[in-house]
Copies of this chain bind each other. A is one copy, B any other.
């Protein structure tokens, strides 16, 4: 199938940050192209976005319902192949369900749904329809995060004992949501974001990164949530102790009131033979600290890498970043989509793409953290 896959976009209208990101990421490796969209629930704003994306008016829709219906009726050689859903969380489930039921694969941003119940329902839809659904846990797309996972899995640091994972942001230190800032507005609104604030928006990233890199599964959570900004209805700060299934323990925090911080998600994992460290602020380096030898800095693009090799486009030293990590997830997803044509049982996991199970686990994580934060008991079991 030497043709580009055709992408539809739900959400991503004017003022959206993540819509443009998905478009760039999906098209980056030349394997897909945006062909249609329902960019906003306001038709006029949807058209405005369609112009921005240089789409023909005929493929710019006034609603996602309309888009799914209309595209379904196009010829197989014309209609979209998959849809990326980049709306606020309360508008993930319904469009995803409709797309899947109409035969379209889906990419949905995290957290996967508004609630755990929706996530469970979505899992059933995926199973029933046999379509592919990917969840964009972006950070597991970084080449050196993949390399970290390989190093841990292959025993470079020995048996894992400690995990420290953190996601500090500072952008919600003030009452940004009152200024009309679109990103802040829905993220602090329980009706659109769901029950979790910081914990849903970035805590899920941190938890997924911890499990992805370490190969360990969280089994116990002892959490606190805070809302530091007066009047804010969702948590803007989370911190917790974690227990893992093979005896490791650790700490996680995800906060949006670490004033002055940007998006420096960071993970450290220590085993009995060494430790590894990766952070987005230095995304092209992976630090490996053996127990009794000099530290090593593994660098993206270098010939000695394993997993990371196929996930870079530039020679070492030409930095790749967030968009490229995002693209790695899309490009792996596209391989699965192409394979799906011949093998409907294709497993996203084998393509290293987070799917509905990871999405569901993220929703369960939010729900468990909320229960733990409301409990006087130290530990709450997960899931």
Contact = CB atoms under 8 A, between A and B. Distances in A.
Interface of A: 2-4, 17, 20-21, 23-24, 27-31, 33-34, 51-54, 157-158, 161-162, 164, 166, 168-171, 173-174, 222, 224, 226, 228, 237, 239-241, 249-251, 253, 255, 257-264, 268, 270-275, 280-284, 288-299, 301-304, 313-324, 375-379
Nearest to A158: B259
Contacts of A260: 270, 274-275, 288-291, 295
B316 A263 contact: yes
B253 A224 contact: no
Given A224-B249, A322-B314, A323-B313, A174 B272 contact: yes
B296 A296 contact: yes
A218 to B, nearest CB: 14
5 contacts: A162-B237, A173-B270, A237-B249, A255-B270, A288-B294
Contacts of A321: 284, 314, 318-321, 324
Given A270-B258, A294-B304, A289 B170 contact: yes
A289 B239 contact: no
Contacts of A295: 260, 296-299
Nearest to A183: B315
B30 A28 contact: no
Given A294-B302, A303-B292, A313 B24 contact: yes
A166 B277 CA distance: 15
Given A17-B315, A280-B318, 15 more contacts: A20-B313, A173-B273, A174-B291, A240-B241, A258-B275, A259-B273, A259-B291, A260-B274, A261-B289, A262-B316, A294-B297, A297-B297, A318-B322, A320-B321, A320-B323
Contacts of A240: 241
The 6 closest A-B CB pairs, nearest first, are A260-B289, A262-B317, A263-B317, A319-B321, A318-B322, A295-B297
A241 B303 CA distance: 33
Contact of A376 (B20, B51, B377): B377
A228 B272 contact: yes
B270 A241 contact: no
A11 to B, nearest CB: 16
A36 to B, nearest CB: 14
Nearest to A291: B259
Select the residue from A228, A237, A239, A262 with max chain B CB neighbours within 10 A: A262
Nearest to A255: B162
Contacts of A2: 51, 54
Nearest to A316: B262
A254 to B, nearest CB: 11
B319 A280 contact: yes
A323 B322 contact: no
Contact of A3 (B28, B54, B249, B379): B54
